[in-house]
Amino acid sequence: MRNTKQRTAVLEFLRSKRQHCSATQVYDAVRVKFPNISLGTVYRNLSQLLEDGKIISVETSDKCVYYDGFTSDHAHFVCERCKEIYDFPLVSSISGPEEAGFTVLNQRVVYYGVCSKCNKNNA
Ligand SMILES: [Zn+2]
Ligand SMILES: [Zn+2]
């Protein structure tokens, strides 16, 4: 029962944030409510939520994983300079596999590059 409550707290935190959070950020937030929770438990809850399709994850090019409680299809842009993760509407085309008779169940689109803010700062 306690695990379910903790999992709900993890999910609620991620859904309340319109940002992408690392496991450590989730841990710090959930610890306020559950002081005894361990980082390992947070990781377990996060992987269970991922498995259940309740959250999605984004990996940066340096292999840091961020979690997102906003699961409707969207593309991610990871800035290589400031490490910020941005949400974008999905515009990629899946016609390639579908024309070949494949059924696409879900898609992950992650762009890696330099965001407009960093481009401006660089100019
Ligand atoms: Zn940037
Ligand atoms: Zn996102």
Q: How far is the CA of 112 from the centre of ligand 2 (A)?
A: 14
Distance CA 48, CA 50 (A): 5
Q: pLDDT per residue over 35-54, tens digit each?
A: 999 999 999 999 999 999 99
Q: Where is the domain boundary, 23, 44, 68? A: 68
Q: How far is the CA of 55 from the centre of ligand 1 (A)?
A: 24
Tell me the pLDDT band of 95, cut-offs 50, 70 and 90: confident
Dihedral of alpha carbons 81, 111, 56, 45, sign: negative
Specify whether 62 is located in the same domain as 83: no
Helix and strand tally (H, E) in the chain? Answer: 5, 6
Query: Which ligand has an atom closest to residue 112 CA?
Result: 1
Specify whether 87 is located in the same domain as 35: no
Specify whether 91 is located in the same domain as 114: yes
Higher pLDDT, 17 or 30: 30
Q: pLDDT per residue over 49-87, tens digit each?
A: 999 999 999 999 889 999 999 998 899 999 999 999 999
pLDDT at 61: 87
> What phi and psi, each to the nearest 5 degrees, are found at residue 116?
-65, -35
Instruction: Specify the CATH number for the domain of residue 96.
Output: 3.30.1490.190
Specify whether 61 is located in the same domain as 95: no
Q: How far is the CA of 76 from the centre of ligand 1 (A)?
A: 13
Q: Given a cut of 60, is residue 1 above it in pLDDT?
A: no
> What number of other Cβ atoms are within 10 A of residue 50's Cβ?
14
Query: Which ligand has an atom closest to residue 79 CA?
Result: 1
Specify whether 62 is located in the same domain as 81: no
